[in-house]
Structure 1
Amino acid sequence: MKKIFKSMAGMVLATTLAVGAQAATLKVAYDSDPVSLDPHEQLSGGTLQMSHLLFDPLVRWDQDMNFEPRLATKWERKDDLTMRFYLRKGVKFHSGNDFTAKDVKWTFDRLKSSPDYRAIFEPFADLKVVDDYTIDLVTRKPFPLVLNNATYIFPMDSVFYSGEDDKGQPKDRLVKHADTFASRNASGTGPYIVERRQQGVRTDYKRFAEYWDKQSPGNVKTITLTPIKEGPTRVAALLAGDVDFIFPVPPNDHDRINRSARSDLVTLPGTRLITLQLNQDRVEAFKDKRVRQAINYAINNEGIVERIMRGFATAAGQQGPKGYVGYVDELKPQFDLEKAKHLMKEAGYEDGFSITMLAPNNRYINDARIAQAAASMLARINIRVDLKTLPKAQYWPEFDLRSADIMLIGWHSDTEDSANFTEYLTACADEKTGWGQYNSGNYCNQVIDGMVRSANQETDMAKRAAILQDVERTLYEEAAYVPLHWQNLAWGAGKGVQAESVVNVMNFPYLGDLVVTQ
């Protein structure tokens, strides 16, 4: 098993191996693929993985969690509200159009209109074009996470997306789960272009001949992405040599890959939180804090980690994992079945009630099994669960509709910061700002939201951490949701696929830099 924590050794190795390496093909099998080619339609890991293939961000994280220049070559703070970015010159879009500041401005304005992304960019007042290759990001108030958020600006080709499509609709139309021009066509600056795509079946990528990053060690000319929902089938395809790179590797299949002479297992500690949300608008009992607390006490997080995740996860009692600024060491998982029963009796629900639960079955590691285990645990306090699991493509529309009483969702902080969990998962829903966009529990506490807004204006990082720790303590005491665990990451790679140099804790493999030696 290979564990990756630092980037320099991997990058040096990749660069060395690239010398003389022939152009390669890569067959990838993920558990699912993006629902759309539109990078702004859905804020999800699959969309961001795709964005790093077809587009480029202004800056990106490296494996040491530092910022790395991409379409922005450098940046400087001009005043408390303004960060200036200097853009890379000579960059072409896939269409052949030149990349300039106007494309960044157009993309920023579109992001501000996206239901999924607008919360990330709510702190920003404007993006000002200084000249063709200089922009200013201006915040409403002092904001400590400007560079974090800039990792989500993947400039789109404003000329390519202008005008109307053959259906008379604007090419830049942004609608979730709709057959739009942007969902079917892409023109970015990234290392690959889409040659062919059948959503849910196969996507073929080809190396962009005019890609700007000539220093990249990557030698993969073509990529074929095939979604394989079932973990054992995905692993079997890798071991048979039918695919070269897979994610995720289920914990119970790690040994199969480690024992194989034709594959390697690459692992990293994870920061994606898996949670259950309790819909207070659908279930009157969920408005009672004692019932929510009982559910938290009834679910054995550590048991799920041990038995279902085979120890390849960390049981959670809060949103942000250790290392995040809001982490509070004493907030542990709360499993206590007798206390759960006592709280249900105290709340007047000793005999329980019936609810519905929805979960995906191909989005997170062992997601369906986790939901099944949680449903069984709730039965012990007389909460009878009608559980249904769906493939990811069918699940997200139902999630957006809040179609069940309990829904499972995983979240990786978009800014590598504790506040982002609250902004999306537990904040009061606000269409204008995008806060609460993925809060299917409809939990709402204006005091907490005010605390997060205060933290987002605090540039003293010690004071900011103290505020976000208070947020975590309050959510814990309120039992606002059910934190289950932070899932670790495991990829499988065929021999010669130097995956360790391109994977990261965000699970956005930079395949444009991948070296394949055989």
Structure 2
Amino acid sequence: MKIKAILFVFLALTLWNPATGTTLKMAFDADPVSLDPHEQLSEGTLQFSHLAFDPLLRWKQDGHFEPRLATHWQQIDSLTMRFFLRNDVKFHTGNALTAEDVVYTIRRLKNSPDFRAMFDAIKSVSIIDSTTIDVHSTYPNPLLLNIMTYVFPMDEAFYQGNDQIIKYGDTFASRNVSGTGPFIVTTRELGSQMVLDRNPNYWDKKSKGNVDKVVITPIRSDSTRLAALLSGDVDFIFPISPIDIAQAKKAQGIQVVTLASGRILLLHMNQKRRKELQDIRVRKAINLAINQKLIVEKILKGYATPAEQLSPDNFLGHISDLKPEYDLAKALQLMKDAGYEKGFRISMMAPNNRYMNDEKVAQAIAAMLAKIHIKVELKTLPKAQYFKEFDDRSADIMMLGWQSDTEDSNNLFEFIIACPNPKTGLGAYNASEYCNPSIDSDIHQANREMNPEKRIRLMQQIERTLHNDAPIVPLFWQSLTWAAKDKVHIKDIVNAQNYPYLGDIVIAN
């Protein structure tokens, strides 16, 4: 599919033709399902957003914020934050970025099924002048700046009237792009290749990035993806399978970069689909039958951390005494006590190209549950098909990975654990259909609590309740691992959120 573009954009690209163009050839395990930055709250969408769009501010590697389209910001009062925009930014169409575009974008985010829960904290946005806006919160919010890293201003004149958001739908916004980002989408063949050319009018003249073209090829197979790097067909890959890391490290001219992350992998157990899962003894038995440490050691080769809660140890909600517990004898006794000594059959779905060795992890879990006489009918799917099935809650047990959008425990709770509410967006990824009003109350309080110590207590209380109720199975926090040719300086542009800032990447001559 060819992306529609304004004629003069192509003319600009033709005139801007450096003598020594540098191309970055990348291979991901999958490509983004849509070009609409608000259709799906996913890692693939956000990676693409950092290519074709720009945020108001973004995370630095040290965990602090870096100004981007907003030059700076200031707190006006307890409910109002003022943002000052750059005045030299143009969209890919040539339209100038103004405060109206930012207001339009935030309003669209508030209407997005996937993003609205996060942006519900924003009551309204008012325009002070063409480069200044005030963001008004519904209540004092300790995470407002964290939320604003998800505002990638869209070109209102380009999208207006054609901006409906339909998940997995064929819309104007899912096929056409006008952002302010460092690259312009020129060609996209879904499932095959996406080509982006350097934006000749990009505002960030201080960036050291020297890549003129990015070619992204989805390669589902881990071994094939690594082979493409080793043969020189691509320059940069993600992810690299744990079983391939040793080979990559031994290869001449190849570098491997690994970072710990807060991405939690978990299983949802749907209590509405199966009466067996309504019994806490069965849910606890499933938790006890799954050996997280063995999965990390044998399948992930140590490139993850076994989990017994959602919050990693650098998040406020983390409880240090909650450790993974594997006890097969206790699990069997719980199954017997619940009246399921002979077990039962259950369906399970997982992706096969989304998380690190996800299919192998799912297969190992099925084998572990067989030891307590639960016969798992496992189906794995590519990412593009899997998440539609996830949204439809198509299996009794479903796998999910989640990176906190705000680098805070409460974001995990809002999307994965809160009672599902289509109007607010809370619980949008709660495929267990679990609903505990006390947790929802704590989530709301934590979003308003400005005292860090009180926030800690609230979020740790949620973690403790989840541990006691066992509605999910926390598996592990996944490490992020990239591999590239030595001449590609990836250490400078990768981060724990896994949004490589490719506009700033340097390839040595």
After TM superposition, the score normalised by the length of structure 1 is 0.94
> 1:21 & 1:372 partners in 2: Cα distance?
51
**Cα-Cα RMSD:** 1.1
Report the Cα offset of residue 32 of structure 1.
0.4
Q: Secondary structure at the match of 1:407?
A: strand
1:200-349 → structure 2 map (5 Å cutoff): 200-349=191-340
1:137-148 → structure 2 map (5 Å cutoff): 137-148=135-146
Name the counterpart of 1:33. 31
Q: Secondary structure at the match of 1:456?
A: helix
> 1:59 & 1:105 partners in 2: Cα distance?
15
Of 354, 364, 387, which aligns to 1:396? 387
Name the counterpart of 2:109. 111
> 1:348 & 1:314 partners in 2: Cα distance?
34
* Counterpart residue type for residue 81 of structure 1: L
Report the Cα offset of residue 81 of structure 1.
0.7
> 2:143 & 2:500 partners in 1: Cα distance?
23
Contact 1:22 1:517 in 2 (8 A): no
* Counterpart residue type for residue 146 of structure 1: L
1:58-457 → structure 2 map (5 Å cutoff): 58-163=56-161, 171-457=162-448
* Counterpart residue type for residue 449 of structure 2: E
Report the Cα offset of residue 462 of structure 1.
1.3
Which is further off, 37-46 or 132-141?
132-141
Name the counterpart of 2:7. none
Q: Secondary structure at the match of 1:254?
A: helix
Report the Cα offset of residue 22 of structure 1.
5.0
Name the counterpart of 1:12. none
Q: Secondary structure at the match of 2:229?
A: helix
> 1:437 & 1:22 partners in 2: Cα distance?
47
> 2:204 & 2:456 partners in 1: Cα distance?
37
Structure 2 residue ranges without an equivalent (≥5): 1-17
Report the Cα offset of residue 124 of structure 1.
1.2
> 1:243 & 1:81 partners in 2: Cα distance?
48
Determine whether 1:501 maps to 2:492. Answer: yes
* Counterpart residue type for residue 221 of structure 1: D
> 2:316 & 2:470 partners in 1: Cα distance?
20
Contact 1:21 1:219 in 2 (8 A): no
Which string of whole-angstrom CA distances, capped at 9 and with x for unpartnered residues, describes residues 237-290 of structure 1?
101110000000111111111111121001111211000100011001111111
Which is further off, 337-346 or 55-64?
337-346
Contact 1:301 1:485 in 2 (8 A): yes
Q: Secondary structure at the match of 1:159?
A: helix
Distance 1:21 1:83, change over 3 A: farther
> 1:262 & 1:179 partners in 2: Cα distance?
42
Which string of whole-angstrom CA distances, capped at 9 and with x for unpartnered residues, describes residues 395-421 of structure 1?
111111000000001000000000011
- Identity %, equivalent residues: 54
> 1:271 & 1:254 partners in 2: Cα distance?
21
> 1:361 & 1:78 partners in 2: Cα distance?
48
Name the counterpart of 1:8. none
> 1:36 & 1:443 partners in 2: Cα distance?
29
Report the Cα offset of residue 383 of structure 1.
0.8
After TM superposition, the score normalised by the length of structure 2 is 0.96
Q: Secondary structure at the match of 2:159?
A: coil
Which runs of structure 1 show a deviation greater than 6 angstroms over 4 or more consecutive aligned residues?
Answer: none
Which string of whole-angstrom CA distances, capped at 9 and with x for unpartnered residues, describes residues 457-511 of structure 1?
0001111011101111110111120000001011011121000000000000000
> 2:362 & 2:434 partners in 1: Cα distance?
20
* Counterpart residue type for residue 513 of structure 1: D
Contact 1:262 1:494 in 2 (8 A): yes
Aligned residues: 492
Contact 1:357 1:406 in 2 (8 A): yes
Q: Secondary structure at the match of 2:215?
A: strand
Name the counterpart of 2:14. none
Report the Cα offset of residue 345 of structure 1.
1.1
Distance 1:21 1:510, change over 3 A: farther
Structure 1 residue ranges without an equivalent (≥5): 1-19, 164-170
> 1:422 & 1:341 partners in 2: Cα distance?
30
* Counterpart residue type for residue 148 of structure 1: N
* Counterpart residue type for residue 213 of structure 2: T
> 2:147 & 2:160 partners in 1: Cα distance?
25
> 1:368 & 1:233 partners in 2: Cα distance?
16
Report the Cα offset of residue 23 of structure 1.
3.8
Name the counterpart of 1:14. none
* Counterpart residue type for residue 248 of structure 2: I
Which string of whole-angstrom CA distances, capped at 9 and with x for unpartnered residues, describes residues 91-126 of structure 1?
000000010000000000100000000011111111
> 2:438 & 2:301 partners in 1: Cα distance?
38
Which string of whole-angstrom CA distances, capped at 9 and with x for unpartnered residues, describes residues 162-202 of structure 1?
23xxxxxxx10110001101000000000000010011110
Q: Secondary structure at the match of 1:297?
A: helix
> 2:416 & 2:478 partners in 1: Cα distance?
17
Contact 1:278 1:441 in 2 (8 A): yes
